[in-house]
A = this chain, B = another copy of it.
Amino acid sequence: MVDSITVSVKELHAYGVSVLTSIGMNKQDALTIADKLVLTDSWGTFTHGNKLLGDYVTRLQAGGTNPLGRPRIVSEGPAWAIVDGDNAAGQVGCDFAMRKAIELAKLAGISYVGVKNTSHFGAAGVYPAMAAEANMIGLAMANDIPSVCAPGSRKAVMGTNPLAYSIPAGEHPPILLDIATSTVAGGKVYAALQRGETIPTDWIIDSDGNPTTDGSLYPLKAALAPMTGHKGYGMALLHENLAGVLTGASISWQVLNWIFDDKTKPTGHGAAFIVINPEAMMPLDKFFQRVDDLINEIHNSPTVNEIEHLLVPGEMEWKRREAALIKGINMPSDVVSKMRDLDNQIGLNTHWLN
């Protein structure tokens, strides 16, 4: 069993850049990807941070993702753009798209930027966080190969199609939510299985269309359940339309599984970003004050005994990041194991990993 390792944000970042440049990616794109994976790990969202780097590298080396891909704008208007991700890494195409969305919203007040020919973009929350950093409200959506049932289906019909958003505040860190439209992500099913636990009845649906507590059926003989039935299914369908249909990306079962499907072929994912610039509509300090007032009201709401105060989405993550910047990140053993394998495979001999 591998131990967890505490590593500084700086060293973790340098590791990601070294891995990616060593397989032929240019420095700028490597920095972009490393930024996002480290930000995600510093939030404590280890399922979507550097744990994924090994699988990204596999696809980049096999050619399914293009390490030299150059995202470009294929069409645009006063408040929108469609980006061709050129099959570069998801983070590269989507960082490009979110920056364009921020630029457009500055003048127009709101913007939509859709991306086609992209791939798995990591944690959806990293893109709205860019908007919040620019004092704007950001939303991110994506599609994926189906793994989630609809009410009445015996098979997955929608991807986990996430939604993330961020809203900047004054005295508080930005509100930041990042959710899948399934009840839980597939990773939670695996984790329960590894711990030998049965799972709640609303997590997965077997191939007869019935809820089951047997996590071992997933994913071959069961699909994830949509959150609150028709509600999660309906939201997944909205994201499929904004990220897939409207961008010209692959849709639904046309999207390839970025880990398991043919690694030499583009996955064809789509993504969508909406940015709103509050400063266009009211003085920024007034907006911040109103967001702060709302957060303070929530913080002062009565709680169940063991809870000090109610949290707003992202509060826990920003606290973890603050600590991580000072004390480093304690990377869990499963992530360390993956990173060490990748390190050996590439022959980097990163000192803190070995």
List the interface of chain A (C-beta within 8 A of B).
Answer: 75, 77-80, 82, 107-112, 114, 137, 150-155, 157, 163, 165, 167, 175, 177, 179, 183, 208-210, 227-228, 230-235, 237-238, 240-242, 244-246, 248, 251-253, 274, 276, 278, 280-282, 287, 290-291, 293-294, 297-298, 301-304, 307, 310-313
Contacts and interface: CB of A to CB of B under 8 A. Distances in A.
Nearest to A251: B294
Contact of A242 (B152, B251, B276): B276
A151 B311 CA distance: 8
Given A114-B281, A209-B303, A237-B294, 7 more contacts: A79-B108, A80-B276, A152-B304, A153-B302, A209-B304, A248-B282, A251-B293
Given A228-B228, A232-B228, A310 B152 contact: yes
A306 to B, nearest CB: 9
Contacts of A293: 251
Given A150-B310, A157-B298, A227 B227 contact: yes
Contacts of A153: 301-304, 310
A50 B333 CA distance: 59
A310 B153 CA distance: 7
Contact of A154 (B253, B278, B304): B304
For A112, A291, A293, A311, the residue with the greatest tally of chain B CB atoms inside 10 Å of its CB is A112
11 contacts: A77-B108, A77-B280, A78-B78, A78-B109, A108-B108, A110-B110, A152-B310, A157-B310, A167-B241, A244-B294, A253-B297
A180 to B, nearest CB: 9
Contact of A80 (B179, B240, B280, B302): B280
B79 A252 contact: no
Contacts of A274: 110, 274
Contacts of A248: 282
Contacts of A251: 290, 293-294, 297
A150 B301 contact: yes
B152 A303 contact: yes
Contacts of A175: 237, 241
A304 B165 CA distance: 35
Contacts of A107: 78
B79 A245 contact: no
Contacts of A234: 177, 179, 313
Contacts of A77: 108-109, 280-281
A293 B282 CA distance: 42
Contacts of A282: 246, 248
Contact of A237 (B155, B177, B252): B177
B302 A155 contact: yes
B109 A79 contact: yes
A297 B78 contact: no
A278 B108 CA distance: 18
Nearest to A139: B238
A210 B304 CA distance: 8
A12 B20 CA distance: 66
Nearest to A108: B79
A134 B242 CA distance: 17
B108 A78 contact: yes
A303 B75 CA distance: 39
Contacts of A240: 294
Given A79-B110, A150-B310, A310-B153, A245 B301 contact: no
